[in-house]
Amino acid sequence: MSDDGGLWLLLLGPAGATGLYWALYRYYRNTDKSHDFEHETAVEAKPVTGSDRKVDEVRGTQETRIDGDNVRAYRKRVTRIRRNSS
C-alpha cells in the first residue's frame, strides 16, 4: 500500500465520527428540512426555450464539475436582473 493510501485510511476515524454526529443530529433536529415548494406546488410551465453557444474550451482540468455548479441549488440566488413586475 502506498503512503498516500495509508494516510487516507487514518482519516477514517475522524470522518466517521463527524459524519455520524452530523447525521444523527440532523435526524433528531431536522434543521435541513423545509417545504419542497419547487416540486410540491402545482406548476404549469410552457416549454423551456433558450440558446446554447460555445464560447470556450477547458483543457486539462482536474475538477470533475464546473466551478460554482448550482444547477440543483435552486435556492442559491445569483445576480438578479431587475425587470418591471406588475
Partner 1 sequence: MSNSASPPPVPPYTGPGSPQDVPPPPGSFPIDPASLPPPIRDELLAPDPVAIDTSAAELKDGLNRCPKCGATDIKQKPGSDLLICLYCRNEWHAQRVEEEFGLGEGLDQLEGTVIASGARDIAADAASVMTFKCTGCGAEVTVNTENAMTARCHWCRHVFGVNEQVANGAVPDAVLPFHIKKDDAVARIRQFVDKRRMFALKAFKEQFTPENVIGVYLPYMIVDGKASADVSGHGEILTRTYTQGSGDKKKTYYDADVYQVERHVDFTVDDLPLESSSERGNLDTGTNTNNIINTILPFDTKNAVKWNASYLSGFSSEKRDSGVEQLRPRLENQLLSIARAQVEASTSRYDRGVRWEQEGLSVHGTRWVSMYLPVWLYSYHQPGSNGGMLHYIAVNGRTGETMGSVPVQQWKLLLAALTVGSVLETIALMIVGNT
Residues 13-42 binding partner 1 (CB under 8 A) are 13-14, 16-42
Q: Closest distance between partner 1 and the C-beta of residue 17, in Å? A: 3
The answer to whether 78 and 70 are in contact (CB under 8 A) is yes
Count residues binding partner 1 (CB under 8 A). 80
* CA nearest neighbour of 36 among 71, 72, 66: 72
Q: Closest distance between partner 1 and the C-beta of residue 75, in Å? A: 4
Q: Closest distance between partner 1 and the C-beta of residue 8, in Å? A: 9
Radius of gyration of the chain (CA): 21
Mask 66-85, x = binds partner 1 (CB under 8 A)? Answer: xxxxxxxxxxxxxxxxxxxx
